Amino acid sequence: MRVLLVEDDAALAESIARALRAESFAVDVADNGEDGGHLGSTEAYDVAVLDLGLPRRDGLSVLAEWRSGGRTLPVLILTARDAWSDKVLGFKAGADDYLVKPFRVEELVMRLRALVRRAAGHAASVIQCGPLSFEAQTGQFQLDGMPLKLTAFEWRVLSCLMLRKEAVVERLDLLERVYEGDADVDSNSLEVIIGRLRRKIGASLIETVRGLGYRLTAGPA
């Protein structure tokens, strides 16, 4: 899962990014509204965390432009503005959630996971695909009821496939959600990750769809 964090407080942004990466999220950070708006309009993200009081451009105008341009990614506003009127303006501009500073980073992580899960069309927090289960609120995978140990990159790929189980996920789509924007990506890295996942969960669960991408499938009934 890939997160866009638009926050001008450098220390806070670093703290949030570090916490999200510890939970296996890929994180791109912008410290002003102009750069954040551009990234949100042109890059693929699963969710965005958006401050309101940003330099160069206010967060509300950034959000309004995303929505008017057809961008549907879930957006959580993270701000010190706690007045009811500010919350109303945020939701009217197209926010999906609103969290007031100061906050617990654990709550932020849980809210982001819930937004991504609901955006993918899953009402229940536990997603099942054959012997594989994913507790979306905690980020934990289990195989046949046993915890599955994954690297950060493996988790990003498998969570993306799991949220869209039985559907083909294009290779480029996976790459965009696994790596951060400034990452130096080897051309075969995704195939290496897929190979490791197949060894961990069983080769039959991840199907290669030639010329398109990959599909996580429970197989024949």
- The residue out of 119, 139, 160 marking a domain boundary is 119
* Encoded tokens for 195: 């190979």
Domain boundaries, position 18: 2-119
141 and 216 Cβ atoms separated by less than 8 Å: no
**Nearest Cα to Cα of residue 205 among 137, 133, 156, 139:** 133
**Same domain? 114 vs 130:** no
Q: Is residue 97 part of a domain?
A: yes
CATH code where residue 146 lies: 1.10.10.10
**Same domain? 18 vs 100:** yes
**Nearest Cα to Cα of residue 109 among 188, 49, 154, 187:** 49
What confidence score (pLDDT) does residue 81 get? Answer: 87
Q: Is residue 88 part of a domain?
A: yes
CATH code where residue 33 lies: 3.40.50.2300
What confidence score (pLDDT) does residue 184 get? Answer: 66
- The residue out of 119, 142, 174 marking a domain boundary is 119
**pLDDT, mean of each 10-residue run, the chain (221 residues):** 95 95 94 96 95 94 95 94 90 94 93 94 92 93 95 94 94 87 74 95 94 87 49
What confidence score (pLDDT) does residue 162 get? Answer: 96
- The residue out of 119, 138, 170 marking a domain boundary is 119
C-alpha–C-alpha distance, residues 209 and 6, integer Å: 35
What confidence score (pLDDT) does residue 146 get? Answer: 95
**Same domain? 43 vs 87:** yes
What confidence score (pLDDT) does residue 181 get? Answer: 72
Number of domains in the chain: 2
**Same domain? 32 vs 98:** yes
Q: Taking the model in full, what pTM does it have?
A: 0.87
What confidence score (pLDDT) does residue 70 get? Answer: 94
**Same domain? 9 vs 103:** yes
Q: Is residue 184 part of a domain?
A: yes
Q: Is residue 92 part of a domain?
A: yes
What letter does residue 147 receive in the DSSP assignment? Answer: E
Residue 106's contacts (CB-CB under 8 Å, 6 or more residues apart) are none
Q: Is residue 221 part of a domain?
A: no
Q: In 69-218, which ranges are continuous DSSP H helix?
A: 84-93, 105-119, 152-163, 171-178, 189-201
- For 189, phi then psi, to 5°, come to -65, -40
